[in-house]
Chains A and B, each alone.
Chain A
């Protein structure tokens, strides 16, 4: 920031009418003129153009009235300045209306238009004051007056008010900006007030939001952990079930592993039993077939032996029976024929027999008579007697007629018998069949029959053996027609060998089987036991799996309902880091804000000391060390200055006018230095009559001091002391003549003010050429007289 500089003023103000340029020569701008020439008024005009008059204060209103232009035109002025930021600004004020128009000189951009009342409280006025503060360093005239306006012989009360101290702080505006910036940054982070006792914001900011997020995450994590804890017994139960399942699975594996060998062994044992059975059956069959074959052979041999001398017919026994009957009949017939020849007729024994029914009737009658009725019994006996006699008679007559017939019939019958006997004897071995040989024949026949029966039985048994062999051979691997006995026997033998081999193989396989498969405790190594145990384990496995699935389902539901602890923990860690960062940022922001605030307060607490230090520095420079130090407990107007080791008031008699003036000058300059400290404002320093009461040596020293000041800021001085100027070899930049109403030539032209031309009717010696028209307008009719004592600003 460069120090602001006043460049020119064009005005209708009091005795002045026209334009005055303030050259930048690297030394103080010097305005000279005799007493009453309006030097102080001109200086004042610069500030009043910028700051105006306060209409609320009567003295201000009276002063404004005094500044009514002598030209009769409305009081107005235009100041051109270079603001602290380098902007060239034109400020035009109408003192009648207090309207201010400010424009940027280069861009012609209107910066402000409106109420420029310094006492205004409207936002427009305040805005204008802010602009002034930016341009020139102060927004209000009072601090300017108290610091940079050094009136002739006056020490205007210097109040270290806010405005002044803002400027005095040098970086005060920077401090304000910094505090605002830090506060904004802090308040963007957190709702908490940056200072104790401040108001907490309603809306949560980043820190609170992050903390809320952390708290929420912690809650979620707690819930998730609680869920995990709730889940833990389920997990433990699932673990237990899994262990049991593993055990059951192992047992099932053992059982399944053992089942095969056990079933194989059982199968082999069964096969062995079957093989043994078959072998046994085959052996039996072989043996039986052999035995039956032998028995058959023997029976057949016996039958053959029994058949030596001829074989009896099959019905020989029947024939013998018939022959015996026939032989008996033949004997009877033979005896009858012989008897018939010996006794004749009547000798028949048939008569008594014929009388038997009659005898029976008699006997029955006797029984009836005894038992029941004599009459009936008698009748019956008589009837029987008659019947017997009749029958006896009839028999006697029949015998006599049939004797002949009977002899013939006997002969015939004998012939038939003999014929029949001949047939019976047919095919009967010798000797001839007779009753005498009958027993021999019978024995021979029975021997032959027994032999035949033996053969039949032997054959039947052989046949049975053969059929059984056939049956066995039908189940053999090489099944085929068993064939006749020998063939069957051979095949049986072969089959038996096969069976024997099979049995040997089975036995071998059995011996190759593991001795005892590993089984769960309590399970017998038998197929039923293994099957039962396996089914029981499978059932347990099913139950356990169902429970495991149910628990998994519950756990899954929990997992769905609750969040993963690990993920939440990581999210929480990230959130905590962010929250911590935000919190640190907020704390650091608060610390920074407090640091700036406290540093500023600390700095401000040294205001008085720094002010006096700056004043005393100037005092030493101005007085050559003879005066000083300046001390005051409060306001500078109450300051005391050291002289010869004593402190005394500025207006005390021991101080000469020169010493007093030097003291006042030192105080103003020191105050200006104080305000310019650091990056403070370096507003133009306006010094009225700096050489008053100073001798030429002191004047030179003051001039040199002012020259030094002018290297860092604009310094504008007024003086009426042409001798001092001459002594210092200085030519005034603006030389004012004592104005008189209607006098247009009261200002001497300065070489560098050639471009200025007197305004028509004005009293400026260097009126602006742009105002020739105004210059022709003529002088003000009756300007008020200049009253120097009324030029004071306070």
Chain B
């Protein structure tokens, strides 16, 4: 059984602007984790490493980033002599460019179309790797040129592109793939890059007819990329369905907490507590608050409360306050607040769409808070 470390979408040098003040810290954390890849490969007795594109976030990253990559691959080659890379849509091959500066022993597929595969002898047997540097200008549909070699051993295709049925299918200059195409390669493993969520072969076909796998992003590039991220350890043997396992990178993952019901919370502080007790150690919460609250939640305060505990947090408020008993009580008051509550509710109910409802509820909460009503 051949063990292949499948890396993709590291996006070295990304701005991480979505993480706000945490961006710089996160950038360093990703670099730190990336530096540890050779040790990961060694620990798992990897026979070959494949990088399925978007190693860099831009074609010409800062020299500091390029130097980090060179050093990591230099050390990687000391551990695993067989390293293969294809560029992605974010980091197409340019001259001069970071791919050209990688150690020569790391094989970078720079041809724009599939050419002759690379055959190597690994400790686990012969390995044949197919890859190419997709170039829309050269050939928008180069996959017809991918022909399986008759050489014995494990055959691996290295492709950076968007599978047509992937949720983020967008077209553009990305390579477009279909499951049928993937299944038709006839190789033992298809290491995919571009799609940022880990997607094992079972998600392509239950019967194992499409041995493809998206490794997903190495670490969340923005706060919408929730869940564990890292690299894939694929155990591949000729003619069998590959077994894949996600090895999480040592970078704080974004933990999505959708629909945290805060109906029973009495104030913002309690909301913060409720969220905090659900956040895994080391994770960065991205929370959507839900439920029917009896007070006007201030998502900014909640977020500020979370930021006091976590390096990054994002709070989206989907709670319904305007149907609460508390608000109904307020509408009974014969004072400005009563008028405010009634008028606010009327405006919410007159809103044309959900966005407008959200805005008007937000306005009502702001108004009530400004009036000192908790």
Which A residues are closer than 8 A to B by beta carbons?
169-172, 174-175, 177-179, 181-182, 232, 235-236, 238-239, 242-243, 246, 552, 555-556, 559, 564, 566-567, 570-571, 574, 577, 584, 587-596, 598-600, 602-603, 610, 677-679
* Between-chain CB contacts (< 8 Å), 5 pairs: A559-B59, A574-B222, A588-B366, A677-B335, A679-B335
Q: Which of B30-38, B45-53, B132-140, B276-284 contacts A (4 or more CB under 8 A)?
A: B132-140
Q: Assess A171 versus B58: contact at CB under 8 Å? Given A182-B366, A571-B17.
A: no
Chain B residues with CB under 8 Å of A182's CB are 366-367, 370
In the complex, B112 has a CB within 8 A of chain A: yes
A171 to B363, CA, bound (A): 19
Which B residues from 305 to 336 make CB contacts under 8 A with A? 333-336
User: Out of A239, A555, A595, A610, which one reaches B367, CB within 8 Å?
Assistant: A595
Q: Assess A596 versus B362: contact at CB under 8 Å? Given A235-B137, A574-B18.
A: no
User: Out of A171, A239, A570, which one reaches B336, CB within 8 Å?
Assistant: A171
Q: Assess A559 versus B137: contact at CB under 8 Å? Given A182-B370, A591-B359, A599-B336.
A: no
A170 near B366 with CB under 8 A, answer no
In the complex, B246 has a CB within 8 A of chain A: no
B58 near A566 with CB under 8 A, answer yes
Besides the contacts A182-B370, A552-B95, what 15 more A-B pairs have beta carbons closer than 8 Å?
A170-B335, A171-B371, A178-B367, A559-B60, A570-B222, A574-B17, A584-B359, A588-B359, A588-B366, A590-B363, A591-B359, A593-B367, A595-B367, A599-B367, A679-B335
Which B residues from 12 to 52 make CB contacts under 8 A with A? 15, 17-18
Q: Assess A236 versus B90: contact at CB under 8 Å? Given A588-B362, A591-B360, A591-B363.
A: no
Q: Assess A175 versus B343: contact at CB under 8 Å? Given A566-B90, A603-B336.
A: no
Q: Assess A242 versus B138: contact at CB under 8 Å? Given A567-B57, A599-B343, A678-B336.
A: yes
User: Out of B59, B336, B367, which one reaches A564, CB within 8 Å?
Assistant: B59
B371 near A175 with CB under 8 A, answer yes
B89 near A566 with CB under 8 A, answer yes
Chain A residues with CB under 8 Å of B359's CB are 584, 587-588, 591
Chain A residues with CB under 8 Å of B90's CB are 564, 566-567
B363 near A592 with CB under 8 A, answer yes
CB distance from A229 to the nearest CB of B (A): 11
A236 to B139, CA, bound (A): 9
A305 to B71, CA, bound (A): 102
Which B residues from 254 to 302 make CB contacts under 8 A with A? none
B138 near A243 with CB under 8 A, answer yes
- Residue of A177, A571, A598 ringed by the most chain B CB atoms within 10 A: A598
Chain B residues with CB under 8 Å of A595's CB are 340, 343-344, 347, 363-364, 367
Query: 8 closest A-B pairs (Cβ-Cβ)?
Result: A591-B363, A678-B335, A239-B138, A235-B137, A178-B370, A592-B366, A599-B340, A599-B339
CB distance from B121 to the nearest CB of A (A): 24
Q: Assess A596 versus B137: contact at CB under 8 Å? Given A239-B112, A566-B89, A602-B343.
A: no
A592 near B334 with CB under 8 A, answer no
CB distance from A582 to the nearest CB of B (A): 13
In the complex, B167 has a CB within 8 A of chain A: no
In the complex, B166 has a CB within 8 A of chain A: no
A154 to B58, CA, bound (A): 85
B347 near A232 with CB under 8 A, answer no
In the complex, B205 has a CB within 8 A of chain A: no
A242 near B112 with CB under 8 A, answer yes
Interface size on B, residues (CB 8 A): 42
CB distance from B132 to the nearest CB of A (A): 12
A600 near B339 with CB under 8 A, answer yes
A143 to B215, CA, bound (A): 75
Chain B residues with CB under 8 Å of A169's CB are 336
A391 to B26, CA, bound (A): 155
A603 near B367 with CB under 8 A, answer no
A236 to B136, CA, bound (A): 9
CB distance from B146 to the nearest CB of A (A): 15
In the complex, B372 has a CB within 8 A of chain A: yes
Chain A residues with CB under 8 Å of B362's CB are 584, 588, 591-592
User: Out of B17, B365, B371, which one reaches A178, CB within 8 Å?
Assistant: B371
Chain A residues with CB under 8 Å of B135's CB are 235, 239
CB distance from A555 to the nearest CB of B (A): 8
B110-138 vs A: 1/0 string, CB under 8 Å? 01100100000000000000000001011
Which B residues are closer than 8 A to A by beta carbons?
15, 17-18, 57-60, 89-90, 94-95, 111-112, 115, 135, 137-139, 222, 333-340, 342-344, 347, 359-360, 362-367, 370-372
- Residue of B57, B333, B334 ringed by the most chain A CB atoms within 10 A: B334
Chain A residues with CB under 8 Å of B57's CB are 566-567
A598 to B367, CA, bound (A): 11
A249 to B294, CA, bound (A): 75
User: Out of B137, B337, B343, B365, which one reaches A236, CB within 8 Å?
Assistant: B137
Chain A residues with CB under 8 Å of B138's CB are 235-236, 238-239, 242-243
User: Out of A175, A570, A589, A679, which one reaches B366, CB within 8 Å?
Assistant: A589
A466 to B135, CA, bound (A): 76
Chain A residues with CB under 8 Å of B367's CB are 178, 182, 592-593, 595-596, 599
Q: Assess A239 versus B366: contact at CB under 8 Å? Given A170-B335, A566-B58, A599-B339.
A: no
Q: Assess A596 versus B15: contact at CB under 8 Å? Given A174-B336, A552-B95, A678-B337.
A: no
A610 to B363, CA, bound (A): 27
A175 to B337, CA, bound (A): 9
A589 near B89 with CB under 8 A, answer no
B89 near A598 with CB under 8 A, answer no
A181 near B370 with CB under 8 A, answer yes
CB distance from A748 to the nearest CB of B (A): 44
CB distance from B115 to the nearest CB of A (A): 8
Name which residue of chain B comes closest to A605, CB basis.
B339
B372 near A174 with CB under 8 A, answer yes
A595 to B18, CA, bound (A): 32
A171 near B335 with CB under 8 A, answer yes
A243 to B137, CA, bound (A): 12
Name which residue of chain A comes closest to B355, CB basis.
A584
CB distance from B202 to the nearest CB of A (A): 30
CB distance from A190 to the nearest CB of B (A): 15
A602 to B336, CA, bound (A): 8
Chain B residues with CB under 8 Å of A172's CB are 336
B15 near A677 with CB under 8 A, answer no
User: Out of B137, B337, B340, B370, which one reaches A232, CB within 8 Å?
Assistant: B137
Name which residue of chain B comes closest to A597, CB basis.
B367
CB distance from A586 to the nearest CB of B (A): 10
Chain A residues with CB under 8 Å of B137's CB are 232, 235-236, 238-239
Chain B residues with CB under 8 Å of A610's CB are 334
Chain A residues with CB under 8 Å of B342's CB are 599
CB distance from B371 to the nearest CB of A (A): 5
A556 near B95 with CB under 8 A, answer yes
Name which residue of chain A comes closest to B347, CB basis.
A595
A182 to B366, CA, bound (A): 8
CB distance from B172 to the nearest CB of A (A): 9
CB distance from A595 to the nearest CB of B (A): 4
A242 to B58, CA, bound (A): 23
CB distance from B211 to the nearest CB of A (A): 29
A175 near B336 with CB under 8 A, answer yes
Name which residue of chain B comes closest to A602, CB basis.
B339
Name which residue of chain A comes closest to B13, CB basis.
A567
Name which residue of chain B comes closest to A564, CB basis.
B58
Q: Assess A588 versus B17: contact at CB under 8 Å? Given A170-B335, A171-B335.
A: no
CB distance from A241 to the nearest CB of B (A): 10
Chain A residues with CB under 8 Å of B344's CB are 595, 599
Chain B residues with CB under 8 Å of A584's CB are 359, 362
User: Out of B15, B60, B112, B343, which one reaches A570, CB within 8 Å?
Assistant: B15
A174 near B343 with CB under 8 A, answer no
CB distance from B65 to the nearest CB of A (A): 13
Chain A residues with CB under 8 Å of B111's CB are 242, 246
A235 to B112, CA, bound (A): 11
Chain A residues with CB under 8 Å of B333's CB are 678
CB distance from A435 to the nearest CB of B (A): 105
